[in-house]
């Protein structure tokens, strides 16, 4: 009987983990892409949708490939933090932020940078003098975006993770049995 309860609990936790990965991936992607696009000074719905879609796929893949919660718990325990405390949650949010946000920022800035380079090439092809167009490097775009999204991502993870967990533990995903 006890073994059956452990099996049921393991199934429930897998469902919660799957749903958590999905909810966090979509939420983080939504807000990070929105913040990144808004901070660029040139917001376009098409660009935001592309950025959101790409970062959604990337963040969900990261969640399936890397057990972020297990890594955060392991590292938190390793440095002596007690689970279910504020310092532990702050640290675990930082670990998640360090895994997700740089990759999401990199992908979104890369898309924006490539789009900008295409627009500059088209302008030059249409007769615009190359020296009159802005010359910006990838790093000039990436570093400010990374700093902004790391800060925003940290707070988003810190706030949304326990909120989603509380919701999912009350109402787990419907069973496929």
pLDDT in tens, the chain (177 residues): 577 688 888 888 888 889 999 999 999 999 999 988 888 777 788 888 999 999 999 999 998 898 888 899 999 999 999 999 999 999 999 999 999 999 999 998 888 888 888 888 888 888 888 787 778 889 998 999 999 999 999 999 999 999 999 999 886 555 554
pLDDT of the residue at 4: 66
Query: Six-digit token pair at 105?
Result: 């920022």
What pLDDT sits at residue 172? 54
Q: Quote the tokens at residue 66.
A: 């890397």
Contact of 103 with 57, CB cutoff 8 Å: no
Q: Are 55 and 32 in contact (CB under 8 A)?
A: yes
How far, in Å, CA of 71 to CA of 82, rounded?
A: 15
DSSP code of residue 43: -
| Sign of the C-alpha dihedral computed for residues 141, 27, 95 and 111 taken in this order | negative
Domain ranges in the chain are: 2-170
Q: In the chain, where does DSSP find H-type helix?
A: 2-39, 45-65, 68-78, 86-125, 138-170
For residue 19, give the nearest of 165, 177, 128 by alpha carbon: 165
The predicted-structure confidence for 13-43, as pLDDT tens digits, reads as follows 888 889 999 999 999 999 999 988 888 777 7
Query: What is the per-residue pLDDT for 175?
Result: 55
């Amino acid at each position: 009987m006890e073994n059956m309860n452990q099996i049921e609990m393991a199934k429930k936790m897998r469902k919660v983990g799957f749903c958590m990965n999905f909810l966090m991936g979509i939420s983080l992607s939504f807000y990070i892409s929105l913040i990144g696009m808004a901070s660029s000074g040139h917001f376009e719905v098409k660009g935001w949708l592309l950025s959101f879609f790409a970062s959604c796929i990337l963040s969900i893949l990261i969640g399936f490939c890397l057990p972020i919660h297990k890594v955060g718990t392991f590292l938190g325990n390793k440095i002596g933090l007690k689970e279910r405390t504020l310092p532990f949650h702050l640290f675990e949010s930082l670990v998640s932020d360090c895994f997700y946000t740089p990759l999401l920022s990199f992908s979104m800035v890369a898309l924006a940078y490539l789009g900008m380079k295409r627009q500059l090439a088209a302008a030059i092809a249409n007769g615009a003098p190359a020296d009159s167009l802005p010359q910006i490097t990838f790093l000039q775009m990436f570093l400010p975006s990374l700093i902004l999204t790391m800060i925003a991502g940290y707070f988003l993870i810190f706030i949304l993770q326990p909120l989603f967990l509380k919701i999912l533990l009350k109402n787990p995903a419907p069973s496929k049995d």
